[in-house]
Structure 1
């Protein structure tokens, strides 16, 4: 099946400020649409694992949010397969395009457009399994590892006697966080899943602005401002495993006319004395003022927020530990 559709609602957990849904839970809706597409195509994730030993992994997620979701919205999701440019490019991850629409003032409005890549990772635990379905065979991998030339992944970084957090932030407008990977950020018994990295991307921004003296609650209390995200992307470059320490780096890249800024998120684990990159991503942030319980509008950054983003105000410790 090349195209499927399904109706979805955002989860209540994602309604953190008034009734608006944050970018993480918008991406969760995209993930649900992908899983439903596989289900309608005859490849439900549970069956793929239990019968064939295939772990369904979203390995690249590139999402643009065009219209804000509210908690009671009913979205219509359409998922279509992206055809390879040539027959020789049939391998690699399964490429999907996901679009979410929502009703606004009796009109259907496009709310989300997302490009998704899915790999089917062979389960490493050695239980008996049936042969891999032929239709999925081109997308099956023994390990998740993206080539650096396609993802911009960095080579392993020797650590020596240095503190990894200092090594990852030295000379940069960046903040880094060391964090032990718990089982509930993982799936298929061992590995961090895409939703785990989305939670990292959400939390590292929260820690970054707090470190710079412009915490989410401070701007809410004093100016009624909230952060908004029109674009996010996360790409797997390697695997990160349960109970490893994940080093997440948030690096500001560009401020656009005091209206939005883009930042890069890079995640590493320490193995054999080297920092190995496991994921990389980008996020675009703006801030909006709450006008009432239903509406908000984007604002220009003030001097305090510009100072925090550019590293010219607040704490510049560049590091955190959890």
Structure 2
């Protein structure tokens, strides 16, 4: 057994916490429902509250100990609909095992429905504490915290490439490019996949340099939007003509390495399966090009279906028609 952890670290590892939160209005895109990104934001907010409740708020971790807080793995399963006016009870339970070098938590999000407590989502979260080179620690670390610190979030898989990227072009290309692009063409190969090249903006980043989990959630949301438009299933058109809107049942993002501010992020969105004309699962892989090395910095999956408005404000799962299944299942060739 190691030394007794500091009370703040013991609270992080052993004590559950509960906080009441409300989703951001930004996530109210369709009818009165809140989308998957904002539900994941609630899980992040609950873990941030857990650190504050333990006596280690993330601002103080940075100022006192030179540590940056990073969500490095976020897995969520969505159940009941979350509405714009809901107040969410978020319960954070520590699940870090002996010997692990990441702090682990489960997060349950609960709402009240007709007097009953209903779970609308559940998440598993892993947190790393990144030693920051921009600031010197002013105090020694609390006992027991050192094992969760790291000099780098990861060392992603690297592959050498001979292709030369096209110049990015003017900064007015705010949404980047979906091709033709030689790097995306190499990454996609013959897969049933879609590619997107995008300059990482500072507002997706934190601690002066690197992209944070919320930025990858935004990328996952946007690449889905671009992918569907590319396959002839643009969200507004499908909503207007069929009354369908995409809905997420589960998602996961894991950080494998660091993606730096203003690097170009190459995102490959691969259709893995279409299940019984109800759901489809895509894998998201993110890369940066450093010299002649393509470095995988993040990976994740997301499962989508469609909801159909059967009458005003009443939504049910839709069955994909043959045209939608074909669009999702058939690779679209893009030349370099």
Q: Flag whether TM exceeds 0.5 (same fold).
A: yes
2:221 to 194, 199, 202: 202
1:317 alignment counterpart: 334
Alpha-carbon distance in structure 2 between the residues aligned to 1:27 and 1:286: 18
TM-score, normalization by structure 2: 0.88
Are 2:323 and 1:304 equivalent residues in the alignment?
yes
Q: Alignment partner of 2:313: what SS?
A: coil
Q: Structure 2: any 5+ residue segments left out of the alignment? A: 1-10, 165-181
2:230 alignment counterpart: 211
CA deviation digits over 1:138-157, x for unaligned, max 9?
111110006xxxxxx6x312
Alpha-carbon distance in structure 1 between the residues aligned to 2:328 and 2:273: 9
Alpha-carbon distance in structure 2 between the residues aligned to 1:294 and 1:52: 49
1:157 alignment counterpart: 159
Shift of 1:302: 0.8
Change (3 A) 1:292 1:48: farther
Shift of 1:125: 1.6
The alignment covers a number of residue pairs equal to 306
Alpha-carbon distance in structure 1 between the residues aligned to 2:309 and 2:58: 40
Change (3 A) 1:292 1:71: farther
Which region of structure 1 is more displaced relative to structure 2, 122-131 or 46-55? 122-131
1:123 alignment counterpart: 132
2:252 alignment counterpart: 233
The answer (yes or no) to whether the contact 1:169–1:318 under 8 Å persists in 2 is no
Shift of 1:295: 2.3
Q: Alignment partner of 1:13: what SS?
A: helix
Alpha-carbon distance in structure 2 between the residues aligned to 1:126 and 1:223: 54
Are 2:117 and 1:108 equivalent residues in the alignment?
yes
Change (3 A) 1:24 1:71: same
1:246 to 251, 257, 265: 265
Which region of structure 1 is more displaced relative to structure 2, 301-310 or 196-205? 301-310
After the TM superposition, which parts of structure 1 deviate over 6 Å for at least 4 consecutive aligned residues?
A: none
Alpha-carbon distance in structure 2 between the residues aligned to 1:35 and 1:173: 38
Shift of 1:128: 4.6
Q: Structure 1: any 5+ residue segments left out of the alignment? A: 147-152
Alpha-carbon distance in structure 2 between the residues aligned to 1:159 and 1:178: 16
Change (3 A) 1:102 1:31: same
Calculate the aligned-residue CA RMSD, in Å. Answer: 1.5
